Amino acid sequence: MILAEARERTGLPIVVEIMSQVQLDVMVKYVDVLQIGARNMQNFNLLRAVGETRTAVLLKRGLSATIEELLMSAEYILAGGNQQVMLCERGIRTFETTTRNTTDINAIPVLKNLTHLPVILDPSHATGHAGYVAAVARAGIAAGADGLIVEVHPDPARAVSDGKQSLKPEAFAAMLKQVGQIAQVMGRNLALAHGAYQQGWA
């Protein structure tokens, strides 16, 4: 697989969204992290299936899921014995229309308070506009998030999907620098922030 080759060349781990149980056998062979997308957060059959594996899972909050429901979905995975679950805030649906979603920044300290699981923020989906990604990424780390997922594309205008919210590599590098400084204030090191480098999945 091409992704596996990309991992070998770059040393970057691979996150891929799984959308159906039938994809599971192939995916666990190649990917480092199985992503459960927002629209599948309450696909309980899929949650149970990934809970049977020992591959790390990135569980995205549903578009209008409560924090309690996110935690209950995580329980479906944990109950199968898979302890490697990361929670991801990716914006919720509100009446506000200047942004694609509303980043629930409160969810970061709330989740850190209620659970020991790592909490990741996705400022790309949570804002939907490249121009707002860096500000919300900084906010996420300042609020205590353990990591970020940020969409990057060398030519956003030609991206197959989500180009509007994708950073160019230069903007991404600038963002990483600021985020790294805030991570230091929070007592986290830059390496951690770099570990969140992930390219282009949604």
Q: Which is nearer to a copy of itself, 45 or 83 (CB)?
A: 45
Counting contacts by CB under 8 A, is residue 22 touching a copy of itself? yes
State yes or no: residue 118 binds a copy of itself (CB under 8 A): no
Give 78 or 110: the residue with its C-beta nearer to a copy of itself.
110
Q: Is 24 in the site for a copy of itself (CB under 8 A)?
A: no
- Applying CB under 8 A, which of residues 29, 54, 93, 194 lies at the interface with a copy of itself? 93
Per CB under 8 A, 95 contacts a copy of itself: yes
Please tell me whether residue 99 binds a copy of itself under the rule CB under 8 A. Answer: yes
Nearer to a copy of itself, 5 or 98 (CB): 98
Q: What is the DSSP string of 114-177?
A: H-SS-EEE-HHHHH--HHHHHHHHHHHHHTT-SEE---B-SSGGG-SS-GGGPBPHHHHHHHHH
- Residue whose pair of structure tokens reads 């922030």 in the numeric block: 193
Q: Which residue has the tokens 């781990």?
A: 13
Instruction: State how far the Cα of 113 lies from the Cα of 98, in Å rounded to an integer.
Output: 30
